[in-house]
Amino acid sequence: MAEKTLSQKILEQHLLTGNPIPGEEVGIRIDHTLTQDATGTMVYLEFEKMGINKVKTELSVSYVDHNLLQTDFKNMDDHLFLQTCSAKYGLYFSKPGNGISHQVHFERFGIPGKTMLGSDSHTCTGGGMGMIAIGAGGLDVALAMAGEPYHLKYPKTFGVKLTGKLQDWVSGKDIILEMLRRHSVKGGVGYIVEYFGPGVKSLSATDRATIANMGAELGATTTIFPSDIQTKRYLQSQSRGDVWVELKADQGAKYDKLDKINLSELEPLIACPSSPDNVKKVKDVEGTPVDQCITGSSVNSSFRDLMIVCKVLENKKIHDRVSFEINPGSIQVLENIAAKGGTVSLLNAGVRIQQSGCLGCIGMGQSPASGSVSLRTFPRNFPGRSGTKDDRIYLCSPETAIAAGIFGEIRDPRNLGTYPRVSIPKKYIVNDSMIIPPASHPEKVEIIRGPNIMPFPDFEELPESLECKVILKTGDNITTDHIMPAGNTVLPLRSNIPEISKFVYNQVDPEFPDKAKRAGNAAVIGGENYGQGSSREHAAIAPRYLGIRVKIVKSFARIHYSNLVNFGIVPLLFEDWEDYNSIKEGDVIKLPKVREEILKENHVTVETNGRTIRTKIDLSEGERNAIASGGLVNYASKKARKVMT
Ligand code: MIC
């Protein structure tokens, strides 16, 4: 029997359809699902369309951690919709303010060896405790809740051997920043990143969660660590030691790609504006004045991450020019910090303590001043994502953030002297006061549906041929924040496709929605890694609602590609990248046999400017049928009708 990697073992234990061969489509069983509120309302609208009265997973949890500003009725309308859906359909509900989904799931629900699908790209955090945890579009999560297999292209494995031990002032964030420095935001596309080697045992479970979380920025399908004594200690500290199992790759397991990092050689790193892979050594950018620091987000808001800040700040003050803010990962983290006296040192140092949630990470508050420098322990710094158009967001560890908070400029944290020792409690105070279990009488639950919750739009089938106007041509690394912005103007519209579609590509071309409507059927041309970043399926639904029928690019980011398929946008790849140069905005492209080719061929013919271009498609049979049906919802309900007739 060939030696297997850990990810191969877990995927094969969950295999329902297909063969575990890289690139081939497989269907896997999903044990846990996770939704957060900004993607979750669409998930439950889609789940309702399936007519199933109870989730079929081992565990499903609905979290509210994004739309927390509540500047009008919309956010709380969504919260009540989500709370009543959870009660009715058999989910746990994590109330607004309880904490960030990935942090709370790691603390209270995660189980080594289980699979999880989440409507958030950072679901991969679960890999820190040996889960196969994958971010996906909301419809895929709704189908998983309905008991359907999750279909994906079987990923290759990217082995990262860790040796040595982190020096003082260097922590988990610096490891994933080193991976991004070496491999860029494209380096993990098509891979599961699997850490192994003697250096792993020195990393705490929450350090591993940090590394797994930000593996999303490599474009990786997910990331996974072994489940070992560190995992066991963490679960025991959460009074959940009973769910621990030991999991690791076989000795001699083979990886499709391999790298190794000597942890002893790492030093504090920082991602400079405006990409997570624009990584430099902190000491090389020292002296840059800093106006804001925020410690938190799903990457770095564990007890250790925030307690190190508290320890450094004992008897110190935040620099006058700096607004230093703390976003706790959960109320449980905050309670445990308070129990250790951490909050007193924060308050005496002049720190702003926020509620538990994602907050500024997706531009829901905490926007920086114009042209100012903001250091954040967040996973992403895409342009404008903070809510400030010319933002200059740096991504760093809590150690580097607190150094800047004290010195008022970017400074290597090793200048702070002796590295404080944070003792991790053997047993945390457990606080589940804001987690509501499923209703015992769901038949009595009425779903609350405020005016902000709009019905899911209908999309027609793919016609035999298409004629589209190219209304936008973009370059490489277009993010889902470019396509469908986050932030406090747009995020509250996530349950209302007609309204949110008015903001598609708002940062790139504010005329885009009107151009799309005038064009009737329209197309977008893109470069490499198109659609990197978030799981938001709204980056597909809203353009489809505007009449975008085709996207032709050099390469797609994984989740966005699935979302385009799920909502019936034809996702084409340039076979010859030179053809990218032959199409410009305003051109008309014709696809004379698109339906037939999508259903039966591996290429689609595109005619434009008197030339014929041959584009590639890389679709499974299910994906072909979904696109031809006008989207997976249409295809699933067609299949269901066939079953019923
Ligand atoms: C993000 O970090 O970009 C988000 C906001 O969490 C998204 C989900 C969303 O857009 O609601 C993600 O990562 O999937």
Pair 502, 555 in one domain: yes
Note if 275 is an active site residue. Answer: no
Q: Could you tell me which of 473, 480, 498 has the C-alpha nearest to residue 550? A: 473
* pLDDT tier for residue 641 given thresholds of 50, 70 and 90: low
Of 243, 265, 287, the residue that ends a domain is 265
Residue 424 tokens read as 């991790």
The answer to whether 20 and 409 have CB atoms below 8 angstroms apart is no
Is residue 505 assigned to a domain? yes
* pLDDT tier for residue 49 given thresholds of 50, 70 and 90: confident
Note if 181 is an active site residue. Answer: no
Looking at residue 634, which CATH number applies to its domain? 3.20.19.10
Is residue 446 assigned to a domain? no
Q: What pLDDT sits at residue 20?
A: 95
Q: Could you tell me which of 134, 157, 388 has the C-alpha nearest to residue 258? A: 157
CA distances from 4 to 48, 385, 456, 640 (A): 39, 40, 43, 38
Query: pLDDT per residue over 406-430, tens digit each?
Result: 999 999 999 999 999 999 999 999 9
7, 37, 60, 65: the catalytic one is: 65
Q: What pLDDT sits at residue 449?
A: 94
Instruction: Tell me the one-letter amino acid at 259.
Output: D
Interstrand relation of 150-153 and 25-28 (parallel, antiparallel or unpaired): antiparallel
Contacts of 380 (CB under 8 A, 6+ apart): 217, 276, 361, 395, 481, 533
First to last CA, the chain: 46
The answer to whether 10 and 30 have CB atoms below 8 angstroms apart is no
Q: Which residue has the higher pLDDT, 1 or 245?
A: 245
**Using CA positions, which residue lies closest to atom 4 of ligand 1?**
534
Pair 202, 290 in one domain: no
Q: How far apart are CA 403 and CA 288, in angstroms?
A: 12
Ligand 1 atom showing the smallest separation from residue 122 Cα? 13
Query: pLDDT per residue over 576-605, tens digit each?
Result: 999 999 999 999 999 999 999 999 999 999
Is residue 491 assigned to a domain? yes
Pair 238, 97 in one domain: yes
Domain extent at residue 514: 466-644
**Using CA positions, which residue lies closest to atom 6 of ligand 1?**
120
Mutation pick for ligand 1 pocket among 39, 63, 301, 386 (CB with most ligand atoms within 8 Å): 39
Of 209, 235, 265, the residue that ends a domain is 265
Pair 487, 601 in one domain: yes
Looking at residue 260, which CATH number applies to its domain? 3.30.499.10
Pocket of ligand 1 (CB under 6 A): 38-39, 66, 120-122, 135, 362, 380, 486, 533-536
Query: pLDDT per residue over 458-498, tens digit each?
Result: 899 999 999 999 999 999 999 999 999 999 999 999 999 99
The answer to whether 180 and 218 have CB atoms below 8 angstroms apart is yes
Q: What pLDDT sits at residue 132?
A: 98
Residue 639 CB neighbour total at 10 angstroms = 12
What does the mean pLDDT of the chain come to? Answer: 96
Residue 8 pLDDT more than 90?
Answer: yes
Is residue 621 assigned to a domain? yes
**Rounded to the nearest 5°, which phi and psi values hold at 578?**
-60, -30
Mutation pick for ligand 1 pocket among 35, 41, 120 (CB with most ligand atoms within 8 Å): 120
Q: What pLDDT sits at residue 642?
A: 65
Residue with tokens 């080697």: 197
Residue 170 tokens read as 């260097």
Q: How far is the CA of 118 from the centre of ligand 1 (A)?
A: 11
The domain tally of the chain equals 3
* pLDDT tier for residue 147 given thresholds of 50, 70 and 90: very high
Is residue 428 assigned to a domain? no
Pair 134, 219 in one domain: yes
Q: How far apart are CA 302 and CA 310, in angstroms?
A: 12
Residue 528 CB neighbour total at 10 angstroms = 19
Q: Which residue has the higher pLDDT, 456 or 538?
A: 538
79, 380, 392, 538: the catalytic one is: 380
Q: How far is the CA of 419 from the centre of ligand 1 (A)?
A: 33
- H/E element holding 38? helix 37-49
The answer to whether 573 and 556 have CB atoms below 8 angstroms apart is yes
Q: How far is the CA of 158 from the centre of ligand 1 (A)?
A: 24
Instruction: Tell me the one-letter amino acid at 91.
Output: L
The answer to whether 30 and 117 have CB atoms below 8 angstroms apart is yes
Note if 536 is an active site residue. Answer: yes
* Strands laid side by side in the 32-35 sheet: 132-135, 115-118, 32-35, 59-63, 92-94, 435-436
Of 218, 235, 265, the residue that ends a domain is 265
Pair 95, 234 in one domain: yes
Ligand 1 atom showing the smallest separation from residue 39 Cα? 11
Note if 538 is an active site residue. Answer: no
Q: How far apart are CA 556 and CA 150, in angstroms?
A: 19
State the average pLDDT over residues 370-397.
96
Contacts of 558 (CB under 8 A, 6+ apart): 189, 190, 219, 221
* pLDDT tier for residue 149 given thresholds of 50, 70 and 90: very high
Query: pLDDT per residue over 278-326, tens digit each?
Result: 999 999 999 999 999 999 999 999 999 999 999 999 999 999 999 999 9
Q: Sign of the C-alpha dihedral, residues 501, 506, 511, 515? A: negative
Note if 380 is an active site residue. Answer: yes
State the average pLDDT over residues 199-207.
98
Ligand 1 atom showing the smallest separation from residue 361 Cα? 2
Mutation pick for ligand 1 pocket among 36, 483, 495 (CB with most ligand atoms within 8 Å): 36
Pair 290, 371 in one domain: yes
Pair 241, 329 in one domain: no
Residue 231 pLDDT more than 90?
Answer: yes
7, 14, 32, 66: the catalytic one is: 66
- Give this prediction's pTM: 0.95
* pLDDT tier for residue 51 given thresholds of 50, 70 and 90: confident
What share of the chain in percent tops pLDDT 90? 96
Pair 303, 257 in one domain: no
Note if 587 is an active site residue. Answer: no
The answer to whether 108 and 238 have CB atoms below 8 angstroms apart is yes
78, 120, 305, 579: the catalytic one is: 120
* pLDDT tier for residue 643 given thresholds of 50, 70 and 90: low
Is residue 171 assigned to a domain? yes
Residue 402 tokens read as 């607190």
Is residue 456 assigned to a domain? no
Query: pLDDT per residue over 424-454, tens digit each?
Result: 999 999 999 999 999 999 999 999 999 989 9
Pair 255, 308 in one domain: no
State the average pLDDT over residues 621-644.
82
Pair 18, 131 in one domain: yes
Q: How far is the CA of 416 from the centre of ligand 1 (A)?
A: 34
* pLDDT tier for residue 644 given thresholds of 50, 70 and 90: low
Is residue 220 assigned to a domain? yes
Pair 120, 185 in one domain: yes
Q: What pLDDT sits at residue 537?
A: 97
The answer to whether 55 and 61 have CB atoms below 8 angstroms apart is no
